[in-house]
Amino acid sequence: MWNRLSRGRFTNARPAVTLAATALLVCVPLSLLAQHHRKHETHVQIEDLEHQWQQATLSNDLVTMDKLLSEDYLGITANGELQTKTQLLDRMKARIFAISKMDVSDMKIKRVGAIAIVTSLAQVEGEANGQPVSGSFRYTRVYQHLPSGAWRVTSFEATRIPRNGGRQRGGVEPASGQR
């Protein structure tokens, strides 16, 4: 159609347009496929690191925990205490807080740039200062992707879930301002 209407002016443009359209149709899906692959790869890496964290916690493996934590790590315990990397490793070494059982579920991983945010539910049993501890905890762990390609835990926060699920007796949420 272009050939007849244009009297030859666009005859060379038609193959170029077809080639550009074909390249676009091939490149866009390949780009989306590569993006999906990177997202899946990150998800697998973070799941593996979460498993390493869990095993290091259960076995009191200071070497692995030291490797997983960034130098500027800052954690918030379920009691609201701030902990640096050194403080966490010292507590592990002294067995001040020792976990003997940890069942993790409801894990969600979200990547934002060079950060991966993990939220999970953990059923935990262990000891704190020689006293038995057990319960359910929601936690958030933040991983930072370093230029070397490694991921390191840079932040952690745990919140204890009250045995009644955070609700008043009878399963009714308190009205705002009544907490």
What is the spatial distance between Cα 88 and Cα 29, in angstroms, rounded to a whole number? Answer: 45
- With tokens 């009691």, the residue in question is 79
Q: Are strands 69-76 and 151-161 parallel, antiparallel or unpaired?
A: parallel
Q: Decide which of 172 and 58 is more confident.
A: 58
The rounded distance, in Å, linking the Cα atoms of 10 and 159 is 68
Lowest mean pLDDT among 107-121, 136-150, 164-178: 164-178
**CB-CB contact of 139 with 119 (8 Å):** yes
Q: How far apart are CA 170 and CA 164, in angstroms?
A: 10
Q: Where is mean pLDDT largest: 28-32, 78-82, 163-167?
A: 78-82
d(CA 157, CA 119): 10
Fold of domain 21-171: Nuclear Transport Factor 2; Chain: A, (3.10.450)
Q: Is the pLDDT assigned to residue 136 strictly greater than 70? A: yes
The pLDDT value given to residue 174: 43
Most confident range (mean pLDDT) of 48-52, 94-98, 168-172 is: 48-52
More confident residue, 142 or 34: 142
Domain ranges of the chain: 21-171
DSSP letters for 118-179: EEEEEEEEEEETTEEEEEEEEEEEEEEE-TTS-EEEEEEEEEEEPTTTT--GGGPPPPTT--
pLDDT of residue 179: 40
Percent of the chain past pLDDT 90, that is, above it, reads 62
Selected residue with higher pLDDT from 39 and 175: 39
Q: Are strands 97-112 and 115-128 parallel, antiparallel or unpaired?
A: antiparallel
Sheet holding 97-112, edge to edge: 82-84, 69-76, 151-161, 131-145, 115-128, 97-112
How far the first Cα of the chain sits from its last, in Å, is 75
Quick one: pLDDT at residue 173?
Answer: 43
Q: Report residue 60's pLDDT band, with 50, 70 and 90 as the boundaries.
A: very high
Overall average pLDDT of the 46-67 stretch: 97
Residue 7 — pLDDT band, cuts 50, 70, 90?
low
Look-up: residue for tokens 């390493």? Answer: 52
Q: Say if residue 87's pLDDT is above 90.
A: yes
Residue range 10-36: mean pLDDT, rounded:
59
